[in-house]
Structure 1
Amino acid sequence: MAIPDAPTTEPDLAAYAAAAAPVLGLALDPAWIEPVVANLRVLRAAADLVAAFPLPDEAEAAPVFEA
């Protein structure tokens, strides 16, 4: 399922990982770039599925339970 108004081009996930790692305080070994990119692709696909799920206007947010 495609998300309306979603970009149709694949983002440069390797560039994203390289830019995000220092922001998160992570040292990203170049040997791990490909596995990180593969994981980002899986996460993006999962996010696309969730974002594409239609919700009715009358849907309510789940309650928050705190101990």
Structure 2
Amino acid sequence: MNDKSLDLDTYIDAVAAALGLPIDPAWKPAVRANLEVSLKLARLVDEFPLPDETEPASVFRA
């Protein structure tokens, strides 16, 4: 186990405790795997360069 997965395990434990959400130890590897994928996708979005003049998408209401 590397330092990164230890950090995620600590984060998962802390967030679960803060939310009062019990996590069965058998499910912890799956929770960690999903969090790793979510963080990877978030990094891709965060690293995508946008010019300063980019406008947010319009909101249409019916």
Instruction: State the TM-score, normalized to the length of structure 1.
Output: 0.74
Does 2:13 align with 1:15? Answer: no
The structure with higher relative contact order (CA 8 Å, sep 6+) is: 1
1:19-44 Cα deviation digits (max 9, x unpaired): 10122231111111111111111011
Specify which structure has the higher proportion of helix. 2
Structure 1 residue 50, shift from structure 2 partner: 0.3
Counterpart in the other structure of 2:42: 47
Gaps of 5+ in 1: 1-8
Q: Give, as a single letter, the amino acid of the residue that structure 1 aligns with 2:4.
A: E
Gaps of 5+ in 2: none
State the distance in 2 between where 1:22 and 1:64 align: 37
Aligned-residue RMSD, C-alpha? 1.9
Large movers: runs of 4+ above 4 Å: none
- Count, aligned residues: 59
Q: Give, as a single letter, the amino acid of the residue that structure 2 aligns with 1:40.
A: L
1:34–1:55 distance in 2 versus 1, CA, 3 Å: same
